[in-house]
Structure 1
Amino acid sequence: MIDLHTHTIFSDGELIPAELVRRAEVIGYKAICMTDHADESTLYFTVENILRFVKQHGHFYDLNVLAGVELTHIPPALIGEMVAKAREAGAQVVVMHGETPVEPVAAGTNLAAIEAGVDILAHPGLITEQEVKLAVEKGVALEITTRGGHSYTNGHVAAMARRFGAKLVVNNDAHAPRDLISKDLRRTVALGAGLTPDEYRQTEANAWAIVHRCMKQGGN
């Protein structure tokens, strides 16, 4: 299991990084990325602290630990600039808080994030044909989420990804211990979204590809 979208006390999560990672390790996760919400005001503070934990503590765990960020409610015109700043700050994985149906995300966020080349577009809602085609071109992974509310449009995301050949990953968007769900439930959510068993296995391969890239670039 791999989760590339989680939250700690550095945004709205309940756990410090050490507890989040330890709980994931015990459940059986093989890689985890902490991607706290950030905007211009918190980006460097958040990434710096998570990255310090990853570098100094990450190698003590029996899983790959990565430092990322979830850019959240950024005005679409500023998303390209913020993605560049996130990478400059050291974020190994850049996630964009997509146009979920349960939050007032600005229209145009999905498109701007894909154009900027984020690694993962989280809970992209009713993503359009144009956006999915561009995600394929840019190599941006679309998220199937196990989180309530955001998951309402998983079926649409899965169908659009299959139609145009976009990469998918399955993430928990974990904010609390209960959000780190089991391997069986992750698979159930993915199949419930309409993925075949083979397509679900491909989501894991897609996630591993992101992890391996990060490790080659100097991750834990």
Structure 2
Amino acid sequence: MIDLHTHTVFSDGELIPAELVRRAEVAGYKALCMTDHADESNMYATLENVLRFVKKHGHFYDINVMAGVELTHIPPALISEMVEKARAAGAQIVVMHGETPVEPVAQGTNLAAIEAKVDVLAHPGLITDQEVELAAENGVALEITTRGGHSYTNGHVAAMARKHGAKLVINNDAHAPRDLVDEALRKTIALGAGLTLDEYRQTESNAWEIVQRCMK
């Protein structure tokens, strides 16, 4: 299991990085990226703190530990600039807070994030054919989420990814210990979204490809 979308106390998560990583390790995860909510106001301080933890503590765990950001509620016109700034500041993975049906995310966020080639577009809601086609072309992974509310459109995301050949990953969007679902529930959520068993397995391969690329 791999989780590329999690939160710590540096945004709205309940756990400090050490506890989040330890709990994920015990739960059987093989890689985890801490991607706290970020905008211009907090991105640099958050990344500095989490990167310091990853560099000093990460090798003590039997799990690949990475530092990233989830750019959140960024005006679409500024997304490309913020993605560049996040990478320059050391973010190993850049996640974009997509157009979930349960939050007032600005229309155009999905498209701007895909054009900026983020690594993962989180909970993209009722993503369009044009957007998914471009995601496939740009190598942007679309998220199947285990998080309540955001997960309402998992079935749509899965069907659109299959239609256009876009890559999928499964993330918890973990904010608390209870959010680190076990493998059985993770698989159930994937199959419930309409994925076949082979497609579910492919999501893990897709996530591992991102980990390998970002750990270099």
Aligned to 1:184: 184
Q: Residues 11-160 of structure 1: matches in 2 within 5 Å? A: 11-160=11-160
Name the SS for the 2:153 alignment partner: helix
Separation in 1 of the partners of 2:132 and 2:207?
A: 18
Separation in 2 of the partners of 1:115 and 1:48?
A: 26
Size of the aligned set, in residue pairs, is 216
Aligned to 1:175: 175
> What is the CA-CA distance between 1:155 and the residue it aligns to?
0.1
One-letter identity of the residue aligned with 1:93: I
Name the SS for the 2:57 alignment partner: helix
Moved over 2 A (4+): none
> What is the CA-CA distance between 1:210 and the residue it aligns to?
0.6
Separation in 2 of the partners of 1:209 and 1:81?
A: 25
Aligned to 1:6: 6
Separation in 2 of the partners of 1:17 and 1:54?
A: 9
Name the SS for the 1:23 alignment partner: helix
Name the SS for the 2:137 alignment partner: helix
> What is the CA-CA distance between 1:214 and the residue it aligns to?
1.6
Separation in 1 of the partners of 2:114 and 2:50?
A: 24
CA contact (8 A) 2:92 2:215 kept: no
Q: Which runs of 5 or more residues in structure 1 are unaligned?
A: none
Separation in 2 of the partners of 1:188 and 1:48?
A: 36
One-letter identity of the residue aligned with 2:13: G
Separation in 1 of the partners of 2:158 and 2:210?
A: 19
Name the SS for the 1:147 alignment partner: coil
Cα RMSD (Å): 0.4
Separation in 1 of the partners of 2:215 and 2:71?
A: 22
> What is the CA-CA distance between 1:215 and the residue it aligns to?
1.9
Name the SS for the 1:9 alignment partner: coil
TM-score using structure 1 length: 0.98
Q: Residues 180-219 of structure 1: matches in 2 within 5 Å? A: 180-216=180-216
One-letter identity of the residue aligned with 1:211: V
> What is the CA-CA distance between 1:127 and the residue it aligns to?
0.1
CA offsets 1:135-166 (integer angstroms, 9 cap, x no match): 01100000000000000000000000000000
Q: Which runs of 5 or more residues in structure 2 are unaligned?
A: none
CA offsets 1:171-191 (integer angstroms, 9 cap, x no match): 000000000010110000000
One-letter identity of the residue aligned with 2:127: I
Q: Identity over aligned residues, as a percent?
A: 84
TM-score using structure 2 length: 1.00
> What is the CA-CA distance between 1:201 and the residue it aligns to?
0.3
Separation in 2 of the partners of 1:35 and 1:121?
A: 12
